[in-house]
A and B are shown apart, each in its own frame.
Chain A
Amino acid sequence: MTEVKSNNGNKQRTIYICQGTGCVSGKAFEITEALKKAVAEQGLQGVNTDFTGCHGFCEQGPVAIVEPEGIFYACVTVADVPEIVDSHLRDGKPVERLFYKDPVSGEAIPHHKDIKFYNMQQRIILRNCGRLNPERIEDYMATGGYESLKKCLKEMTPEQVIEEVKRSGLRGRGGAGFPTGMKWEFLRNAVGEPKYMICNADEGDPGAFMDRSTMEGDPHTVLEGMIIAAYATGSSEGYIYIRAEYPLAVKRVRLAIQQSEEKGFLGDNIMDSDFSFQLHVKEGAGAFVCGEETALMASIEGKRGMPRSRPPFPATSGLWGKPSNINNVKSLATVPVIIARGADWYSSIGTEKSKGTCVFALTGKIANSGLIEVPMGIPLREIIYEIGGGIPGNKNFKAVQTGGPSGGCLPESYLDQSVDYESLAAAGSMMGSGGMVVLDEETCMIDIARYFLSFTQAESCGKCVPCRVGTKQMLDILERICRGEGRHEDIDLLQELGKQITAGSLCQLGQTAPNPVLTTLRYFRDEYEAHINENRCPALFCANLISFYILPDKCQGCGICLRNCPTEAIVGDKRMVHVINQEKCVKCGTCLEVCPERFSAVVKVSAEEVDVPSEPIPVTAEKPQTST
């Protein structure tokens, strides 16, 4: 924590409320206000109320931390405020019922540092997120902020800065993994003025919020990284391209730019040097494809956001035809740390070819959803079972989807796979910008492929034929397989389409769009075959391929299912075995959900006939023993 005053003994406390977007949607603003009001009303001395950016543990939001003890409160509501103030802030007795509960052991964990989700992480990019007030430049400076910039300007030549970044082994965190230092060198050596430095903050993957959280939680580190990059590359003007759907990030970055200008870190003659750098924010209009660098530049120029072929590369002809460089938010956020702690330190983290840490948005069928930062090379198993807390509800792991909508699905056999650029690519997936979706046994892999492809298909800009038409053809095929109308030639056709779209598309969006299909075909081909050849969905998910039946030897004729069925597909009477009219059934699963557990009379099957009476018959089943 940045500001923990200890001059007032144990009574000095600060409660930090997370004001990342996730917690804000959980009423973090209201909670902060209520806390301030309650603290003021009670006239508590030495108690401060402050806020931070995203902690990453959005599943438990809104979260609050009370320092200096480091007590972590999860799922705080406005109604909890009086208790927190009275019990903890006034009387020093933490509110136990708001502690985080370990999803496996169920044990309540009071301290932030003891929570596995946090203590297994190594935070470099997110080092300040959740630990300082993102709207105060002083907080950032108190952690050594802008010292790296000072070091660059006063002690290093631009070439030395590039050399340091090259030596650190930092690779583009936007997903492609191109060495950052080399990219900077291209721009440094490019002919033409002015040169542009662009930060790609057009994070568009569904479920990914790494860049957003970094900008919301620690905007100054992004700015500092960018100013250093501009100094190293000789850029005089820069843009941060943030998608407009991130209003809080836009607000905080704008505020940070203003504060940075006031302090003389941005603008003309930065820190009394010859180096000047102007920085602008450009709000993107929400096209996923604008994360592609050439499309992003077209969008800044005010044109339709469509990629163009390379060469020429942006380093020679980028924004407005001038030499330009584009880096991801996370790459830039890493730079100040590399300068401060040295390339050797940074390159000691990670694997041989993938250095440093990577940030993932961990979601799906996982106990601890949230934002995590881990060293490169960590096995998937550790992320999912240690940090993520495993899969809830005693379900089995089926696959993990990495790399966002263009990534791939990796099966259980890859769980011990190291997480780095090369290993993921070799497995048919990719690092991407850091989405990680965990799937359990109830997930139909064809439906998952269909879902991700429907996203990339909808987000295709439409410029090139393979992406525009090819992804639609693939999606149509997947949809018909899910409907149970798959054809025998479909698997080969999907494979062929995937291969040619990958090779023939203009930009990375099209080139990677078939990945979810190609990897599920590679690792879960049996599911495709079951759908097509047997009309069977092994995950019992695809509505057209499943049926619900009421087992006559278990049904007690209670009528709960009948009353809840939305389509009146169930017939029966008191003490009569109920029967589902398969013609009327819409496969919503309500009957299965509402059938009392002690009866468990409803079953879900796929491509199976269950012997049930055609009309209601008197109940013959014995009443189950009610457990005491």
Chain B
Amino acid sequence: MEKINLTINGQEIEATKGMTVLEAAQSADVYIPTLCHYPDLEPYGGCRLCIVEIENMRGLLTACTTPATEGMHVTTESPAINEVRRMTLELMLSTHPCDCLECHRRERCGPYDVCLRHVAVTDRCVVCPSNGTCELQKVVDYMVVRELRVSKDTKSVPVDISNPFFDIDRNRCILCARCVRACQEITGVGAIDMAYRGYAMKVATFGDTPLMDSICRSCGECMVRCPVGALTPKETFHPEREVKTICPYCGVGCQMYLGVKNEQVVCIRGDEEGPANHGRLCVKGRFGIAEFVNHPERLTTPLVRKNGQLEEASWEEALAAVAGKLGNYKGDEVAVISSAKSTNEDNYVMQKFVRAVLGTNNIDHCARL
């Protein structure tokens, strides 16, 4: 990859050609606040927080959309930048229920504590599922905004709870369009888009129906990219530890982390390093694992039918039983059905076994059903 050199805040930086100014800065650990940028989405330039000054370029430019070029001189902090950034952030906060921001007790207050300031429950950061992981909070703390010069104007529209896996609370939405771009660019579904104009703009499905009545496939790619608490899972857990694994649902091999709390799988996140999925998951992988892993009726050992009753057995026992029975049949007397949950390699071995060892072509796969 061709390298370019540029200066950010007086610091010489080497970046790769094709990077934006923001990416170049991030690669050199220079922090520029942003809320609409997301690494695997196309640049948007809507939140206007990443504005920088670039020598010989007019006005304030968004670092997330401006390509980095050789010899560029970038300034990420200046009185002019901070003035605009602060006002933009205040304007964003004026529509966002976050009355805990200016409260000195924010760090110590829990969701069930009595609010001494009589702030409505819906306007309190501490009751938001994203409290602590909220990117807006981080930017606010970075900019040290503790009060707003503009008037608050939050909404109270009904939360869309139609989807069984996650909710859309548009009252908290900051319209960064990450969800919309994820749905269009990552999944190619396009179940949601920006609807209406100006101050009335909102994330909506076609015809503004509940999410469940749209073409949404519930993959939750939107949800994981939401910087605030507008798209949140039905239940939010903060796991004690994570276990890396591969999704058992199909042969794609999506890599994931299981979030574990009290020895139960409580949440899933995609592994961005996973070569097959780059952190992305489908509805089954993201929302369908915890329930069946933790389910009391889940099989954890093989069962062998003895005297008409299924009884727990060891793998050796079970495999011996299968091998013994298979010996009684020849060629086309037997048929084998393999599983889509197995890997491609396992399925290949199975068909090889059926054709070469059992001597039949009666092999099929459940994904054809």
B150 located at the interface, meaning its Cβ lies under 8 Å from any Cβ of chain A in the complex: yes
Complex Cα distance A28/B172, Å?
Answer: 54
List of A residues within 8 angstroms of B60 by Cβ: 503-504
The chain A residue with its CB closest to the CB of B174 is A465
List of A residues within 8 angstroms of B149 by Cβ: 493, 496
Inter-chain contact A308/B45, CB cutoff 8 Å: yes
Residues of B within 8 A of A (CB): 43-48, 51, 59-62, 65-67, 80, 83-85, 87-88, 91-92, 94-95, 149-151, 153, 174-175, 177, 193-194, 196-201
Interface string of A306-331 (1 = CB under 8 A from B): 10110110000000000000000000
**Segment of A199-207, A453-461, A530-538, A585-593 in the binding face:** A453-461
| Those 3 A-B pairs whose CB atoms lie nearest each other, nearest first | A462-B201, A500-B87, A309-B65
Inter-chain contact B150/A473, CB cutoff 8 Å: yes
Name, among B65, B85, B87, B193, the residue most crowded by chain A CB atoms within 10 Å (CB to CB). B87
Shortest C-beta distance, B183 to chain A (Å), equals 14
Return the contact of A304 from the options B67, B151, B175, B193 (Cβ within 8 A).
Answer: B193
Inter-chain contact B196/A462, CB cutoff 8 Å: yes
The chain A residue with its CB closest to the CB of B83 is A500
Inter-chain contact B197/A469, CB cutoff 8 Å: no
Complex Cα distance A309/B94, Å?
Answer: 24
Inter-chain contact B62/A309, CB cutoff 8 Å: yes
Complex Cα distance A486/B193, Å?
Answer: 38
Return the contact of B48 from the options A306, A471, A476, A506 (Cβ within 8 A).
Answer: A506
Residue pairs across A and B with Cβ atoms less than 8 A apart, 27 shown, are A309-B66, A458-B197, A459-B197, A461-B201, A462-B199, A463-B45, A463-B46, A463-B177, A463-B194, A465-B47, A465-B48, A465-B88, A466-B48, A466-B84, A466-B88, A466-B91, A468-B199, A469-B199, A470-B87, A471-B199, A472-B153, A472-B199, A473-B150, A499-B83, A504-B51, A506-B45, A506-B46
Inter-chain contact B198/A460, CB cutoff 8 Å: yes
Size category, A interface:
20 to 34
Return the contact of B45 from the options A464, A496, A499 (Cβ within 8 A).
Answer: A464
Name, among B51, B67, B91, B150, the residue most crowded by chain A CB atoms within 10 Å (CB to CB). B91
List of A residues within 8 angstroms of B177 by Cβ: 463
Known: A309-B61, A506-B45. A470 touches B91 (CB 8 A): yes
Shortest C-beta distance, B21 to chain A (Å), equals 11
Complex Cα distance A311/B87, Å?
Answer: 24
Return the contact of A461 from the options B62, B80, B92, B198 (Cβ within 8 A).
Answer: B198
The chain A residue with its CB closest to the CB of B150 is A473
The chain A residue with its CB closest to the CB of B61 is A309
The chain A residue with its CB closest to the CB of B45 is A309
Name, among B43, B45, B46, the residue most crowded by chain A CB atoms within 10 Å (CB to CB). B46
Complex Cα distance A463/B44, Å?
Answer: 9
Return the contact of B66 from the options A306, A311, A460, A463 (Cβ within 8 A).
Answer: A311
Interface string of A370-399 (1 = CB under 8 A from B): 000000000000000000000000000000
The chain A residue with its CB closest to the CB of B95 is A469
Return the contact of B94 from the options A460, A461, A473, A506 (Cβ within 8 A).
Answer: A473
Complex Cα distance A506/B175, Å?
Answer: 15
Complex Cα distance A465/B150, Å?
Answer: 14
The chain A residue with its CB closest to the CB of B199 is A472
Shortest C-beta distance, B128 to chain A (Å), equals 20
List of A residues within 8 angstroms of B87 by Cβ: 466, 470, 496-497, 500-501, 504
Complex Cα distance A459/B197, Å?
Answer: 7
Known: A464-B45, A464-B48, A473-B94. A458 touches B61 (CB 8 A): no
List of A residues within 8 angstroms of B51 by Cβ: 504
List of B residues within 8 angstroms of A459 by Cβ: 197-198
Inter-chain contact A503/B84, CB cutoff 8 Å: yes
Known: A308-B65, A465-B92, A468-B175. A473 touches B45 (CB 8 A): no
Inter-chain contact A473/B91, CB cutoff 8 Å: yes
Interface string of A441-484 (1 = CB under 8 A from B): 00000000000000001111111111011111100100000000
Complex Cα distance A304/B44, Å?
Answer: 13
Known: A308-B45, A503-B80, A506-B48. A465 touches B198 (CB 8 A): no
Inter-chain contact A469/B91, CB cutoff 8 Å: yes
Shortest C-beta distance, A506 to chain B (Å), equals 6
List of A residues within 8 angstroms of B43 by Cβ: 309
A505 located at the interface, meaning its Cβ lies under 8 Å from any Cβ of chain B in the complex: yes
Question: Which chain A residues numbered 240 to 295 have a C-beta less than 8 Å away from chain B?
Answer: 287
Question: Which chain A residues numbered 12 to 57 have a C-beta less than 8 Å away from chain B?
Answer: none
Shortest C-beta distance, A97 to chain B (Å), equals 48
Inter-chain contact B67/A465, CB cutoff 8 Å: no
List of B residues within 8 angstroms of A497 by Cβ: 87, 150
Query: Assuming A471-B198, A493-B150, what are 19 further A-B pairs, CB within 8 angstroms?
Result: A308-B45, A312-B67, A458-B197, A459-B197, A461-B198, A462-B175, A462-B197, A463-B44, A463-B177, A465-B174, A468-B175, A468-B199, A469-B91, A469-B95, A473-B153, A476-B151, A503-B60, A506-B46, A506-B62
Name, among A311, A503, A504, the residue most crowded by chain B CB atoms within 10 Å (CB to CB). A504
